[in-house]
Amino acid sequence: MIEPKLRFKADDGSQFPEWEEKTIDEVAECLDNKRVPVNSEERKKRVGVIPYYGAGGIQGYIDDYLFDEELVLLLEDGDAFDDFQTKSIAQYVTGKSWVNNHAHVLRANGNSYFLFASLEHKDIRRWTQLAGASRKKLLKDSMLKITINMPSLAEQQKIAEFLSTIDTVIEKQKETVSAWEECKKGVMQKLFSQEVRFKADDGSDFPEWEEKKLGDICKTFSGGTPKSGEARYYDNGTISFIRSGEIHDDKTELRITNDGLNESSAKMVDIGDILYALYGATSGEVDISKIKGAINQAILCIRPLNDFNRKFIVEILRYNKETILRTYLQGGQGNLSAQIIQSLVFDFPCVAEQQKIADCLSSLDEVIEKQKATLAAWEELKKGLLQQMFV
């Protein structure tokens, strides 16, 4: 067994015993026989405060419970097995809970949190098998044979307390990020409802806001996709190809060639252009492009005219996202289009007040991004520690 790089010592300074490789059935009791699924109709009738767990974590809340103790839940099926480094494949549960038949239920013989930490990002793919064309499944018999390295109970306790402390910091930082995001939403509501108005630098009032149709103050166009399977459109391409799920990103997964651009409907956008997702899972998402590249047909590029502020337009579209989707995507069906976006009507202040609003919201964005960076740093620290502890 490979020795962990990071070890704790006993309170008297002595070294704890060496870790031992054990299987799950040696360190935990499996309680799969007690898990019970709840169908969607039952769940509607039983909405409550008890968390209902499945393979993907909390599935909802009901009014009854199966367990009332510390448990470790391990995915039985799902796509997270192949993305274990970024997605958690285990859950640590305390108190009352209900678990369906898509998560294995384990009661640790030792420290529950240590068992959870050992499994949270473990590569268990060799214990899984295909169920259907591509979906992987972790059967109970295979799950019980998964091997993990176990220290003494005393060292388990020290490691669990240490990681719990970091997790507490991470959760508080997540709450901080959420609080700032809620703060921004509140500020946007007051600004766009005109409950709060800025004044000019000389203290005078700005003019009243005027109703404008987006198509009258912006130029718009969408792109296209080079024919798939045509190697010369993609191989060794140097042009970033932006898809709707990448409008917030600073890099793309795909690149296309000049032939791919020139022989298709793909269109080039510049850094600073407004990108709006027209359809798919990201419908209504909007941002200012961080990439110079080509866009596909699912993205609308918006370029303001006559000095209208890009950031202001992005924020007013973002603020009205749910209204737009609710109005034009009935029951989640259908697509947005250039014509729909061009027809949207909003109240606009003068350019100078647009700039002040944009600057205000940009300042909040900077705070949010710094808080997110702090969160990412803590998460990266935990990931590094886990790699040192759980080899």
Question: Domain limits of the chain?
Answer: 21-150, 152-207+349-391, 210-347
Higher pLDDT, 361 or 89: 361
pLDDT value at position 69? 95
pLDDT value at position 42? 77
For 267-296, b/e burial (b = at least 16 CB within 10 A) is bebeeebbbbbbbeebbbbbbbbbbebbbb
| H or E, element range at 301 | strand 299-304
Return the CATH fold of 21-150. Answer: Adenine-n6-DNA-methyltransferase TaqI; Chain A, domain 2 (3.90.220)
- pTM summary value: 0.81
Tokens of 120: 């949270």
CB under 8 Å, gap of 24 or more: what pairs does 92-95 form? 92/116, 93/51, 93/53, 93/67, 94/69, 94/70, 95/68, 95/69
pLDDT value at position 158? 93
Tokens of 278: 């027209």
Q: Residue 371 phi/psi, 5° resolution? A: -65, -35
CA distance 346 to 352: 17
351 falls in which pLDDT band (50, 70, 90)?
Answer: very high
Domain 210-347 has CATH 3.30.390.30: no
For 272-301, what is the mean pLDDT?
95
For 302-313, what is the mean pLDDT?
96
CA distance 21 to 114: 14
Average pLDDT of the chain, as a whole number: 92
pLDDT at 373 over 90: yes
For 351-377, what is the mean pLDDT?
97
Match domain 152-207+349-391 to its CATH number in 1.10.287.1120, 3.40.50.10880, 1.10.1740.10, 3.20.20.30.
Answer: 1.10.287.1120
pLDDT value at position 155? 92
Same fold yes or no, 21-150 and 152-207+349-391: no
Give residue-wise pLDDT tens across range 133-180. Answer: 667 889 999 999 999 999 999 999 999 999 999 999 999 999 999 999
Contacts of 374 (CB under 8 A, 6+ apart): 173
